[in-house]
Amino acid sequence: MDVYTRLLRPLFFSLDAEEAHELVMSALEAGSRMPSLIRLMAGTTVTHAPRNVAGIEFPNPVGLAAGMDKNGVALQAWEALGFGFIEVGTITALAQPGNPKPRLFRYPDKQALINRLGFNNEGVEAVATRLEGLHTSGRWPRIPVGLNIGKSKVIPAAEAAGDYLASFKRLHGLGDYFVINVSSPNTPGLRDLQSTEALGRIIRTLRDWEGTPRRPLFVKVAPDLAEEDLVAIVQLAEAEQLTGLIATNTTLDHSCIPPKLDQTGGLSGAPLRARSLSALEIIRRQTALPVIACGGVSDAESAGERFTAGADLLQVYTAFIYQGPALLRKLAQEKPQDR
């Protein structure tokens, strides 16, 4: 019996979506001190399918997308559940509570979520201190950890590059790769930073400070960009020697949601599948840079189509909420394409 879908999910879905999220994160944080117990309770074995991407060894190609573990509190638990890598965040330089509640909504018949969380997190100092503690205590997970950074809400867009740099500096050396998040729809004006001028300024500010050697650096893009804008970002990524791209964040296209049930925010889950795949295909036509596919990945078929389209790795979030740990076994069986 799938304990998650038969027993745990009904319990969690009886609660408000964000209350359930907080309950799960508290349990996983506690479980990180006993990862063997997490493995036993998960009751699933994920195929070992190692993959080297951007010089990083991934034990399997299925990772946890940013947004689930914003503050890096349960890293060992995610490893125990079978994820091949974890992306922490989004982390901002300044601690911030995010948008007013309620701000997370389920649509079970669509296998979807809408969120307008707004980068709620403890801020870079608290997160960096926690990650340093895991390193020094020997409790750092054996799988890659990415660190996703975003703009603090109160910082004007004109000062965004310095704000990203503050997070990058404090976290430097703590993760295996970094992600510049300029594509969340829930921070006012953030998606404007996807313009090549603004994004280029952020990238150069980080790289100029870093010098060499460089940490792997990705940019996460929105699924709602026009093709020419997405192509321009890919060209910028190549010109600035970024490591790769993540395709994609959530969408503002809510056409599948009945108007009376609709909410402001980014839509994730199964309805995002086609849009995210299209963005991946556009990116792959333009570049051989590594691409992490995220958005609408929920079964072997959707995983396979991403690999066929040229994805190097996958990330999940919403499908994991609906399906639990058994999802990882299904997805990890799919093989990335050799290119």
What contacts 84, CB < 8 A, 6 or more positions away?
Answer: 46, 49, 51, 58, 59, 60, 61, 62, 63, 143, 144, 313, 332
Catalytic residue of the set 152, 167, 184, 276: 184
Q: Angle at which helices 227-239 and 273-286 pack, to 10 degrees?
A: 50
How far is C-alpha 109 from the chain's CA centre? 23
Q: What is the bridge-based pairing of β-strands 291-294 and 85-91?
A: unpaired
Q: What is the bridge-based pairing of β-strands 217-221 and 244-247?
A: parallel
Give the C-alpha separation, 336 to 339, whole Å: 9
What contacts 292, CB < 8 A, 6 or more positions away?
Answer: 63, 218, 244, 245, 246, 247, 311, 312, 313, 314, 315
Q: What is the bridge-based pairing of β-strands 291-294 and 266-269?
A: unpaired
Torsion-angle region of 28 (φ positive above 0: left; ψ -120 to 50: alpha; else: beta): alpha
Q: Between vectors from CA 42 to CA 36 and to CA 43, what angle results, nearest 5°? A: 95
Catalytic status, residue 184: yes
The catalytic site residues sit at 184
